Amino acid sequence: MITTLTPNPSFDRTLRVSALQRGEVHRASLVRVECAGKGVNVARALAVNEHPARAVFPANDEDFAAFDAALTATGVTSHAVRIRGSIRSNITVVEPDGTTTKVNEPGPELNGAEAAELIRAAVTASDWLIASGSLAPRTPTDFYAQLAASLPDAAHRLAVDSSGQPLQQLVGTPCAVVKPNLSELADLTPRRLCTVGDVVDAARDLHDGGWGSVLVSLGRFGAVLVSDEISYGTVAATDVRNTVGAGDALLAGFISAGGRGVTALAEGLAWAAAAVRSVGTAGARVSLDDRCAVVVSQCVPRDLPVEE
């Protein structure tokens, strides 16, 4: 069993438009509403690919009923820490070429007691604990550092995917896996990240500071994995419909394959390729073609640019 923790879940509303033009009126050709949030997305990706998953998140009674029904339908076990506020709504606008624009609400306020209860609910006897996403207002910014301190074997079974101050406060705290994207990694290092080599050097600093594996997602440029060894991988994604959720799928696939090494990196990239074919943020089933499209090597192209 893999447990996921989502401190700030969301109702994701995805709209497809022919072209997004600022200041204009648009008509959506597709509207899709899903129970989501990064950890919830990870749990659904795991379940749809036949890995048992348990999702922990804060919710009031009404919102929990909606989430529980949606997650149960995909095979995910849900557990809510009860709060009085309402789960936020996030809007994603998708254009035909896959260009994605997001508007995210801040979410309900969580006090210290509610944040502590989330940690207690998540720290269970699972094979892995994957904690993902932003923090709701008033949640202590060291939430993920507190979570790691509450898990005796965090260095072996805690994976974190966050950003900003919550991620910065985790630096130096032992964790098995941390998954920043390029922008999030840039916030953690004084280095300028222009090439794969720059990414490797910045990730190695974080690895040396206590993060067992640093999995850096680079969008269309692939992903870098820095642990005791260094790997780089790419995937030839086709039929890209929505890039939201690709990073969640990358982490889900990586952990499903053991959370370490070249094999796990390849599986994560295959799951990401499957995810971008989905219009919404729900997990997608990985195919043999997805796995065949992945190229992973420990011969890292250090001079390869990672900027648009």
* H helix and E strand count, the chain: 11, 14
- Looking at the domain assignment, is residue 23 inside a domain? no
Total domains in the chain come to 1
CA distance 41 to 84: 23
Q: What is the 3-state secondary structure (H, E, C) of 29-58?
A: CEEEEEEECHHHHHHHHHHHCCCCEEEEEE
CA distance 304 to 89: 38
Domain of residue 246, CATH code:
3.40.1190.20
- Looking at the domain assignment, is residue 129 inside a domain? yes
Q: How confident is the model at residue 125 (pLDDT cuts 50, 70, 90)?
A: confident
- Looking at the domain assignment, is residue 42 inside a domain? yes
| Model pLDDT for residues 4-22, shown as the tens digit of each residue | 999 999 999 989 999 999 9
CA angle 19, 182, 157 (to 5 degrees): 115
- Looking at the domain assignment, is residue 261 inside a domain? yes
- Looking at the domain assignment, is residue 308 inside a domain? no
- Looking at the domain assignment, is residue 302 inside a domain? no
Q: Name the amino acid, one letter, at 116.
A: A
Q: How confident is the model at residue 308 (pLDDT cuts 50, 70, 90)?
A: low
| Model pLDDT for residues 193-239, shown as the tens digit of each residue | 999 999 999 999 999 999 999 999 999 899 999 999 999 999 987 77
Helical axes 38-48 vs 246-256, angle rounded to 10° = 50
Average pLDDT, the chain: 94
Q: What is the pLDDT of residue 105?
A: 95
| Model pLDDT for residues 253-307, shown as the tens digit of each residue | 999 999 999 999 999 999 999 998 876 566 689 999 999 999 999 999 999 999 7
- Looking at the domain assignment, is residue 230 inside a domain? yes
- Looking at the domain assignment, is residue 304 inside a domain? no
What is the 8-class DSSP label of residue 20? -
Answer yes or no: pTM beyond 0.85: yes
R_g of the chain, CA atoms, integer Å: 18
CA distance 119 to 215: 23
| Model pLDDT for residues 136-172, shown as the tens digit of each residue | 999 999 999 999 999 999 999 999 999 999 999 999 9
Span 123-143, average pLDDT: 94
248 is catalytic: yes
Q: What is the pLDDT of residue 245?
A: 78
Residues of the domain holding 161? 2-18+28-297
Q: What is the pLDDT of residue 307?
A: 79
Q: How confident is the model at residue 100 (pLDDT cuts 50, 70, 90)?
A: confident
Catalytic residue among 63, 248, 289, 303: 248
Of the CA atoms within 13 Å of residue 87, those in its CB half-sphere come to: 28
